[in-house]
């Protein structure tokens, strides 16, 4: 009889971060510029973040010490190519050391090449909407993969490309901060599709590592009488379909989700965070998280099934799943429910190979600053001391037992 509480041999359990959100001092990136603009919607600048740039070794051994065996982080294009065509051997060496630290601790390094930030020079040259973007991304992937590929476990080209057109060109919450620029948003999406294709090929041509894209797939539920509409959520979901089509040629598909969104006869019922009011208090309630999202870990099952249906036979990595909460027991309950969704999908025969919690650390949550706390580990904002929460040990135990108990 199959033990439904168990995960398959080799299943990866870990946590994720991204460079700008944890490294600190990412001064050459477009986000640094955006955070410091006078008219910025950002609550606060990223500053030193979690000083992960210097403390990666401590973080990776802490993670391994809890029993986790995978770590997803991103490499920073703005550091690797600080000026157009100038590649920094020192920055690449730094990321080799981060990768070596993972290998020494027997932690599988899952590396994202682009997680929301661009070098400032590239944003000035038109950013994602520039026709040069795909070729520049391809060259960056080629150079980074040549220098790091022998140590990378899995490579993710672009994080959540489905949302970058809308957040940067329609909603004005990410650089370049345009609102209602439909043409810019469309160009960004077209370029990102091409960039994923070209970047993935460049990485594969250097080393035979599994390559894929990571997509945010909230569970969109239509109620009786609701019609599909043109809310940004639904538009992003259609963009996901194009990426899922490309993902059929990839080595894995990265699935990430946080909640569900319900669409009623009059449109979306809960849109999560109200991006039109970034000054709103971030308080959680019994039903909602600090992000204003419904606390609904079951969304993960729907996201995995959607990816499996769109990309038959392609392995699925859960590359992000998490909750922003001040109550750690709530985080544990969230992970427990999300992992039960993973087990249900496994028992349906879907090839799921990882569960990476977002996030390893309480970190810089983009325009919302440091207020939302997603981490398994807290960070003292003065000393950067790591303060592991019970949830880190809880997930580590699941990993050690390869089972939910």
**Facing residues of 261 across strands?**
220
Q: In terms of CB distance, is 256 or 310 closer to ligand BGC?
A: 256
Q: In terms of CB distance, is 163 or 396 closer to ligand BGC?
A: 163
- Under rule CB under 6 A, residue 159 binds ligand BGC: yes
For 178-327, where are the alpha helices, taking DSSP H only? Answer: 182-206, 232-247, 299-310
Q: In terms of CB distance, is 123 or 159 closer to ligand BGC?
A: 159
- Under rule CB under 6 A, residue 284 binds ligand BGC: no
CB of 58 to ligand BGC, least distance (A): 21
Distances (CA, A) of 336 to 14, 40, 263, 297: 14, 37, 27, 9
CB of 84 to ligand BGC, least distance (A): 26
Other Cβ atoms closer than 10 A to 266? 9
- What is the token pair recorded at 96? 């080799």
Q: In terms of CB distance, is 134 or 218 closer to ligand BGC?
A: 218
- Under rule CB under 6 A, residue 160 binds ligand BGC: yes
Of the candidates 243, 94, 72, which has an alpha carbon nearest to the alpha carbon of residue 155? 72
- What is the token pair recorded at 100? 């070596």
The count of chain residues that interact with ligand BGC, using the rule CB under 6 A, is 8
The string of DSSP letters for 49-114 reads TT-HHHHHHHHHHHHHHTT--EEEEE--HHHHSSBTTB--HHHHHHHHHHHHHHHHTT-EEEEEEE
| 343/6 Cα distance (integer angstroms) | 8
Interacting positions 20-59 with ligand BGC (CB under 6 A)? 21
Rule CB under 6 A: choose which of 365, 370, 373, 386 binds ligand BGC. Answer: 365
CB of 159 to ligand BGC, least distance (A): 5
Distances (CA, A) of 54 to 88, 318, 347: 18, 27, 42
Q: In terms of CB distance, is 191 or 257 closer to ligand BGC?
A: 257
Rule CB under 6 A: choose which of 12, 18, 35, 55 binds ligand BGC. Answer: 18
| 82/394 Cα distance (integer angstroms) | 40
Asked if 236 and 244 count as a contact pair (C-beta separation under 8 A), the reply is no
Of the candidates 295, 203, 219, which has an alpha carbon nearest to the alpha carbon of residue 256? 219
CB of 208 to ligand BGC, least distance (A): 26
Q: In terms of CB distance, is 21 or 105 closer to ligand BGC?
A: 21
Rule CB under 6 A: choose which of 23, 320, 341, 362 binds ligand BGC. Answer: 320
CB of 233 to ligand BGC, least distance (A): 13
Of the candidates 166, 192, 190, which has an alpha carbon nearest to the alpha carbon of residue 179? 166
Q: In terms of CB distance, is 123 or 167 closer to ligand BGC?
A: 167
CB of 166 to ligand BGC, least distance (A): 13
CB of 403 to ligand BGC, least distance (A): 27
CB of 13 to ligand BGC, least distance (A): 19
Q: In terms of CB distance, is 149 or 161 closer to ligand BGC?
A: 161
CB of 160 to ligand BGC, least distance (A): 5
385-399 in b/e burial notation, b at 16+ Cβ within 10 A? ebebbebbebbbebb
**Torsion angle of the four alpha carbons 364, 323, 394, 106, in this order, in degrees rounded to the nearest 10:** -50
- Under rule CB under 6 A, residue 358 binds ligand BGC: yes
Contact residues for ligand BGC, defined by CB under 6 A: 18, 21, 159-160, 216, 320, 358, 365
């Amino acid at each position: 009889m199959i033990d439904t509480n168990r995960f398959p041999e080799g299943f990866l359990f870990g946590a994720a971060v991204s460079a700008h959100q944890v490294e600190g001092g990412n001064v050459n990136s477009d986000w640094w510029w955006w955070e410091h603009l006078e008219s910025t919607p950002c609550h606060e600048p990223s500053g030193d973040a979690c000083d992960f740039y210097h403390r990666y070794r401590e973080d990776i051994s802490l993670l391994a010490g809890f029993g986790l065996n995978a770590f997803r982080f991103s490499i920073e294009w703005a550091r690797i190519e600080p000026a157009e065509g100038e590649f920094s051997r020192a920055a690449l060496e730094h990321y080799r050391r981060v990768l070596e630290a993972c290998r020494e601790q027997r932690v599988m390094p899952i590396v994202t090449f682009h997680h929301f930030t661009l070098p400032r020079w590239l944003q000035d040259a038109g950013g994602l909407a520039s026709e040069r973007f795909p070729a520049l991304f391809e060259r960056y992937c080629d150079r980074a993969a040549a220098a790091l590929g022998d140590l990378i476990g899995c490579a993710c080209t672009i994080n959540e490309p489905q949302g970058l057109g809308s957040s940067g060109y329609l909603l004005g919450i990410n650089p370049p901060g345009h609102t209602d620029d439909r043409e810019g948003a469309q160009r960004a999406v077209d370029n990102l599709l091409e960039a994923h294709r070209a970047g993935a090929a460049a990485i594969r041509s250097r080393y035979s590592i599994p390559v894929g894209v990571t997509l945010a797939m909230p569970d969109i539920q239509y109620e009786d009488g609701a019609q599909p509409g043109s809310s940004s959520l639904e538009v992003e979901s259609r963009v996901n379909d194009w990426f899922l089509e490309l993902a059929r040629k990839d080595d894995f598909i990265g699935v990430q989700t946080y909640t569900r969104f319900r669409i009623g006869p009059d449109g979306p019922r809960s849109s999560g965070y109200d991006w039109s009011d970034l000054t709103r208090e971030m308080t959680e309630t019994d039903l909602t998280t600090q992000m204003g999202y419904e606390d609904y870990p079951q969304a993960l099952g729907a996201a995995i099934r959607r990816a499996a249906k769109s990309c038959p036979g392609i392995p699925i990595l859960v590359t992000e799943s998490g909750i922003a909460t001040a109550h750690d027991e709530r985080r544990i309950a969230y992970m427990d429910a999300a992992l039960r969704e993973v087990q249900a999908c496994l028992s349906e025969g879907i090839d799921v190979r990882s569960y990476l919690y977002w996030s390893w650390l309480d970190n810089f949550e983009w325009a919302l600053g440091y207020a939302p706390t997603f981490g398994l580990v807290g960070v003292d904002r003065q000393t950067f001391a790591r303060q592991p929460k019970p949830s880190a040990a809880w997930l580590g135990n699941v990993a050690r037992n390869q089972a939910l108990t």
